[in-house]
Structure 1
């Protein structure tokens, strides 16, 4: 009779400043029927975790956020600079950091008290990712960037290539794709800097993907400064929606149309 090699199990490092929290996570990990997982180390703060990683390895880090010294977000950001970092699942009492967590490419975000079923689902996601990904994944310059949005309680990664336009409303920003409309809390100016030159500002309240620009015409657009009269507007494909274009941006939009051969 042969025994299963230890490498067949997910190797888990628990990082939490509370001993009871680490003990509970160790118990929950051990109870997971599939995939098999084992806690191979514990750390009470970010510094201890980094010291542990200098001589040992893990497949997954169960990471608290609020800890003495560097918090879990700072540690996760530092781990991303490693050539082959462990997967991260945040385990925290604070739900408000979920969007930032997924921007750091966390596999999952669990809130305390952690339910056994949720932890096991997170372990399954990690195992699935490891089965698909090669053993060593180097960061690539051409990786598809994403916009992280919250949609009815779910955190969704929207590829930037799917975004048609972003429009500032009263207290939020609408992100439009061909299939969905999402609401963001980010400032439009911040999004403009992050999205780069794939997008063009057509108005103080709107950014449009250059590839989605199809026409520039004089039209009557409700809610513009020229209420009741015609103003420049751009047609966005494939949704066939029209967005107002300010006078100062009309030239830049025309140049984008010319560059696209339209």
Structure 2
């Protein structure tokens, strides 16, 4: 059984309650929250209807509701409106497949409005907003210094079978968008991320170069730029049946360079002395 506490540590985990009539949607949120490194999150319960949520909330406490809008019976907007009159009301972040309700959501003082399928980076942004509003201080995702005071190498945090693994940026050769996911390639491993290249690019910094709309490559990993025969079913820009490509060190893979990005890739290679 869960009980509430009158005192909350500034660094305490965010207590999250899930409300969605779709079991798979709740499972997806649980998986995203389980993989979250910052802020620390505890899923304290879930409900498939507003009525069940009201019953739970009348007995237990949550800091945040991740709330669907369209549900049988009382919908999410009506539930949020009812909760506004409660004492110690939880924060509300709507998670819905219907973007047309955004204005109504903020009328009931929602903290954020996420559309399905939810991306980890947007969910994290919403959680951080709630944490700051509650006066909590989340621990940093990556420590900036070693115990000896030396700067730590920046890294990407990836989730593998429920474990969070730190991949230093110096080990990343490239990131490539494929279908709904992004593949992160090192010399020894391949990881799958559910963040977009657009979200990742500004966080990677100048050491990575966009060579195509679907690929970011570490500058130090590029060994050669040349024209190569295009695959028969390639949808990329063709020039006499050939495509510009870069050779990736250590794995000897070729990645296509788009015509739009070709000047920037050439300039970068000249700057690197290649």
Distance change in 2, residues 1:49/1:143 (3 Å): same
Distance change in 2, residues 1:153/1:259 (3 Å): same
Distance change in 2, residues 1:171/1:211 (3 Å): same
- Large movers: runs of 4+ above 3 Å: 109-113, 221-224
Secondary structure (helix, strand or coil) at the match of 2:14 reads coil
Residue 49 (structure 1) aligned with residue 9 (structure 2): yes
8 A contact 1:219–1:232 mirrored in 2: yes
Q: CA deviation at 1:112?
A: 7.6
Aligned partners of 1:152 and 1:229: how far apart in 2? 42
Secondary structure (helix, strand or coil) at the match of 1:208 reads strand
Q: Which residue of 2 aligns with 1:55?
A: none
8 A contact 2:237–2:258 mirrored in 1: no
Aligned partners of 2:250 and 2:6: how far apart in 1? 52
Aligned partners of 2:189 and 2:210: how far apart in 1? 21
8 A contact 1:221–1:244 mirrored in 2: no
Q: Which residue of 2 aligns with 1:255?
A: 267
Aligned partners of 2:208 and 2:250: how far apart in 1? 16
Q: CA deviation at 1:94?
A: 4.5
8 A contact 2:210–2:217 mirrored in 1: yes
Structure 2 stretches of 5 or more lacking a match?
18-28, 46-145
Structure with greater contact order relative to length (CA < 8 Å, sep ≥ 6):
2
Aligned with 2:254 (options 234, 242, 251): 242
Q: Which residue of 1 aligns with 2:236?
A: 225
Aligned partners of 1:224 and 1:157: how far apart in 2? 34
Secondary structure (helix, strand or coil) at the match of 2:205 reads helix
The TM-score normalised by the length of structure 1 is: 0.53
Secondary structure (helix, strand or coil) at the match of 2:9 reads helix
Secondary structure (helix, strand or coil) at the match of 1:100 reads coil
Q: Which residue of 2 aligns with 1:212?
A: 221
Q: Which residue of 1 aligns with 2:135?
A: none
Aligned partners of 1:224 and 1:165: how far apart in 2? 21
Aligned partners of 1:94 and 1:233: how far apart in 2? 40
Secondary structure (helix, strand or coil) at the match of 1:166 reads strand
Aligned partners of 2:259 and 2:34: how far apart in 1? 39
Q: Which residue of 1 aligns with 2:104?
A: none
Superposed CA offset, 1:174-222 (max 9, x none): 0000000111000111110110111000000000000101111001243
Superposed CA offset, 1:103-150 (max 9, x none): 55x7xx88889xxxxxxxxxxxxxxxxxxx75xx87x7x432211112
Give the number of equivalent residue pairs: 160
Aligned partners of 1:206 and 1:193: how far apart in 2? 14
Aligned partners of 1:162 and 1:218: how far apart in 2? 27
Structure 1 stretches of 5 or more lacking a match?
1-17, 21-42, 51-60, 69-92, 114-132
Aligned-residue RMSD, C-alpha: 3.3
Aligned partners of 1:188 and 1:175: how far apart in 2? 11
8 A contact 1:233–1:245 mirrored in 2: yes
Aligned partners of 1:214 and 1:183: how far apart in 2? 24
Residue 66 (structure 1) aligned with residue 19 (structure 2): no
The TM-score normalised by the length of structure 2 is: 0.50
